[in-house]
Amino acid sequence: MVGIPLPERPRRTPCGRLSSWATPDPTVVCITSTLLGTVSRMTAATPLGTPVVAPPTIGVLGRDWRATVTPGGAVEQWDGLGALDWFVAADDRWHVPAREPAVRQSLVEGTPVVETRLRIPSGDAVHRVYSVADHGGLAVVEITNDSPLPIAVAFAGAAVLSARPPTDMPIEGIDLPAGAVVFPVGHHATLTVALPHHPGSELARSGRLPAGLPTALQVARGWLALAERASRLLVPDPTAIGAVVRERCQLLLDGPADAHERPVDFLLSIGELVRMGSVAEAWMPELADAVAALPAHVADPFLGAALDAAGRVCVAADDPRAERDLHQVRNRLAREHPSANAGPLKAAESVTGLRDVVALERTIADGTDLFPHGIPAPWLGQHFEVYGVPTGTRSSVSFAVRWHGERPAVLWECSGDPVTLTSSGAAPGWSTTDRTGETLWPAPTGAVPTVPSAPERPGAPDGDVSFS
């Protein structure tokens, strides 16, 4: 698979949020259609729409521009550049998405491709917005009329680029803001406009929408490939799959927590960023600050996970001295605060933040201990696969679970340093030092799983598993 390299080092705005990735050659976070077949990572059970838990950020890595998409679909640009809002004239009346109760919003496969659906007679007006780096940076807005009747769509608050001029028909039935433009959209048709990231550019002054822009699916798959550099979790909870991608993508755009005020969250964040390809060396000064602040956070149940994340960053930075210093800090904290170890983390019922992503992974593998709490009850009887879950600072594991009646068959492959795998919760007494292999674990206690057919995977026959 062709990789999508991450830029060198994040720069922060005065408000402390990550606004860009400083690099001489900014990366376009999308891929061409010729690569789509090589980066598809979703099973047939994975929903395209991932729930939104907070107003999502959109933008392009390597560029300063960012915007927040409101629950109604308005694109609120950062740095005071204004908001692009939309309005729909349907067969019955004008609809204002910001005030309509029948508005639903989701993320395409968990990525920063935001879909907002507005109920109109006999269907929906579907608003999708995403950013591309083409032509200096554009926020592309697609409006699909998913109804059997024509509609009109108005945009206000910021100038947009369009392939055809807006209608000059008088607007009736609504008081739109000054400068609003209106476009007709036929039944089951799609209108595309774009918001330039740089309003003073020559393209912005022309008002013309460039041809050949990446599609929403292409951009979503590019972000998906980026997020799954950290790990790929094809677990039996489709919502969790998209939520993991969502949290990682939003971290890429928003940046980590403050190293001094929230050192545990900062270390968890940069651990994820480095696993997705961020240059580790650039984080080392702030990593040192965060580690120095940890003694005030010994009661945090994610302390151990944060130290593990810091260790992986030190290894990625090839800094043996930092590794030794971190080891001493870990030993000192364990000696001075022996009750600080809260035991293995357990996954929450839903993934709503980066900590939940970490807890989900550590439910799967707490170091070299696979499923320390046992296989989660909702997963019993369902085939699943995970790829690249950390087992140490220099090692990871990929494995698949296939059910033989009530017993799980496990096929694994280890990467990095040699480790001894165990499973205190699912198969007490089992251990292996083999880098690859398969085994049959005992039936889970207190559960009688049902056995569905194996999930479909693009390009692989039924039941086939490959960790390459």
- Triad 424, 426, 429: Cα angle to 5°: 50
- Read off the pTM: 0.86
Q: Which residues contact 24 (CB under 8 A, 6 or more apart)?
A: none
Pairs from 202-211 (Cβ < 8 Å, separation ≥ 24): 203/135, 203/136, 203/161, 204/159, 204/161, 206/161, 207/159, 207/161, 207/162, 208/161, 208/162, 208/163, 209/161, 209/162, 209/163, 210/134, 210/135, 210/138, 210/161, 211/163
Q: At what angle do helices 320-336 and 303-316 cross, to 10 degrees?
A: 170
Q: How far apart are CA 283 and CA 15, in angstroms?
A: 19
Element at 162 (helix H, strand E): strand 161-162
CB 439 within 8 A of CB 403: no
Rounded CA separation 73/126 (Å): 10
Ordered mean pLDDT values, 10 residues apiece, the chain (468 residues): 33 35 32 29 51 95 95 95 96 96 96 98 97 97 97 96 92 89 96 96 96 96 97 95 97 97 98 97 98 96 96 98 96 86 81 96 97 95 97 98 96 98 97 98 73 44 51
What is the torsional sign of CA 29, 35, 36, 40?
A: negative
Structure confidence by residue, pLDDT tens digits, 247-296: 999 999 999 999 999 999 999 999 999 999 999 999 999 999 999 999 99
pLDDT tens, 181-208?
999 999 999 999 999 999 999 999 999 9
**Cβ-based burial of 217 (10 A; exposed 0-12, middle 13-18, buried ≥19):** middle
Residue 10: partners with Cβ closer than 8 Å, 6 or more residues away = 18, 20, 21, 22, 255, 278, 282
